[in-house]
Structure 1
């Protein structure tokens, strides 16, 4: 089940935090609860993706995106993700999440998220491709930035982000059926 109560709590904690610039990092703190674990008593990989929502949505609030979504009647959807898992987060373990926008192109906004253990080790790292949508399809990031009052040119993509975008472009869609 989606963690609605945790999301509400995350948004409540975020409501009085200062706004962030579009490329600044939102930092939040979480705990791995028994309902987040898999058979090995660690944070489930699918649940990791859901918990990342607890960082992305407050980030969207702090940079002004949620206000733009509401006023323009736009939606937000994830259009892809790549996750690198490196360290286990065990039941009841606390961790820090860092969420930030790193790039946008003509269609998508790219978001980087990480979970850090208390000993300072990075447990996992995700790169998301997000799209803002309206009734007719994808809203360009330039139009979104304008609605947010941000006057910036497209940033330069970090090399590792560009490599992921290029690799994704070679992936067949729709996938082949056996």
Structure 2
């Protein structure tokens, strides 16, 4: 069962709450584990962690202002890649903090990292789950919106920070080769340093 009630509460809180400062790259939300989040081993199902991360992305998108450009005119966000690592588990009624951070971008993709941190129990205040996701914004005709348009006016720099290995693992072979060539040429790895036309969605 999808977490519709929590999603609605998150969107309302993000839209009515304090916006992030211009250019801010990180937001956080606090949640609790409920019975429907558990599997037969009575801890959070691996897939449920990924569903809970939807809440972190929504909070960041609406509080940063990305939602205004990303969702206008029947545009829709789509995940095109994900890499997750599970370090410890969360149990029933356990509170957690989810940190969501914008860590880089390319011409038409955005990379975010999620960190789920228990607020109680033996693993308190240590990262239990991390995931890096790659997302694109699609127009109604399924063309990808350029990142520069999404970030324009929100206080973010024109260049992406260097992409981490976790981000690079979500690129196509052609994109990784172009990124490597750009780095080998002595220049800083840039958000516009390679095209995405050859990348598979």
The match for 2:151 is 145
Give the whole-Å Cα distance in 1 for the aligned partners of 2:12 and 2:93: 22
Question: Is it true that 1:127 corresponds to 2:132 in the alignment?
Answer: yes
Q: Deviations over 1:30-83 (max 9, x none)?
A: 111000011110111111111101110111001111111343432111111110
Deviation at 1:169, TM superposition (A): 2.9
The match for 1:116 is 117
The match for 1:37 is 38
**Equivalent residue of 2:169, what SS?**
helix
Question: Is it true that 1:51 corresponds to 2:52 in the alignment?
Answer: yes
Q: Which runs of 5+ in 1 are unaligned?
A: none
Deviation at 1:103, TM superposition (A): 0.3
Give the whole-Å Cα distance in 2 for the aligned partners of 1:57 and 1:19: 13
**Equivalent residue of 1:6, what SS?**
helix
Check 1:35–1:79 CA distance in 2 against 1; reply closer, same or farther (3 A cut).
same
Q: Kindly report the root-mean-square deviation, in angstroms, between the aligned alpha carbons of the 2 structures.
A: 2.1
Give the whole-Å Cα distance in 2 for the aligned partners of 1:128 and 1:162: 8
Q: Give the conservation status (yes or no) of the 8 Å contact 1:22–1:101.
A: no
Question: Is it true that 1:2 corresponds to 2:2 in the alignment?
Answer: yes
Q: Give the conservation status (yes or no) of the 8 Å contact 1:23–1:102.
A: no
TM-score between the two structures when normalised by the length of structure 2 = 0.76
**Equivalent residue of 1:55, what SS?**
helix
Give the whole-Å Cα distance in 2 for the aligned partners of 1:142 and 1:98: 24
Aligned residues: 170
Q: Give the conservation status (yes or no) of the 8 Å contact 1:95–1:116.
A: yes
Deviation at 1:10, TM superposition (A): 1.4
Deviation at 1:149, TM superposition (A): 4.6
Q: Give the conservation status (yes or no) of the 8 Å contact 1:84–1:125.
A: yes
Deviation at 1:154, TM superposition (A): 2.3
Q: Give the conservation status (yes or no) of the 8 Å contact 2:29–2:97.
A: yes
Of 32-41 and 156-165, deviating more is 156-165
Deviation at 1:159, TM superposition (A): 3.2
TM-score between the two structures when normalised by the length of structure 1 = 0.85
Give the whole-Å Cα distance in 1 for the aligned partners of 2:93 and 2:69: 36
Of 70-79 and 148-157, deviating more is 148-157
The match for 1:156 is 161
Give the whole-Å Cα distance in 1 for the aligned partners of 2:47 and 2:118: 18
Deviation at 1:17, TM superposition (A): 1.7
